[in-house]
Amino acid sequence: MTDIASHIVIRDSRPEDVADIQRIYAHHVQTGTASFEEVAPNVHTIAERRQGVVNGGAPYIVAELDGVVHGFAYATSFRPRSAYRHTVEDSIYVDPEATGKGIGSQLLGTLIERCTQLGYRQMVAVIGGAQNVASINLHKRHGFAQAGHLKSTGFKFGAWVDTIIMQRPLGPGDSTLPE
């Protein structure tokens, strides 16, 4: 990691960021297994999804370098049933031109901090592809442990893709009852 990391600004996303968010996400949909979507959603769909996260009170943040968005992250409910209300799932995507600059790490660190402040107790990462070592290692560096390995749960680019589940406690985790 270079000194560039000190120039990265992590902030709440804004509606005007949606085109950059869509561009970054579309790259990952079209070229990798980080997302199991096979057709990149358009800007309107990304705007609706972003607004849904924001309306739900969860963080949706971006990483900016020299005034340009180079990554984004957000948290959503892990599952819709009420008993899951203390658990969130993280999503992080970085512009391929900006990997290796600490953007993913700063996004995940901020997301963990914000979700902890909001009172969530567990964070889950659902990682597409056992070969996605960059994401697996990023999560390990931030205190996640592998909680599951689901074989052949996706089919993308003509091949079966596994799903890696990682998890970390937030705040007191399960050592106390939630308020």
pLDDT tens-place string over residues 124-177: 999 999 999 999 999 999 999 999 999 999 999 999 999 999 999 999 999 999
pTM of the model: 0.95
What's the CATH fold of domain 3-169?
A: Aminopeptidase (3.40.630)
Q: What is the pLDDT of residue 1?
A: 45
Mean pLDDT over the full length of the chain: 95
The 87-94 sheet, strands edge to edge: 9-12, 60-65, 68-77, 87-94, 122-128, 159-169, 145-156
Q: What are the domain boundaries of the chain?
A: 3-169
Q: What is the pLDDT of residue 6?
A: 73
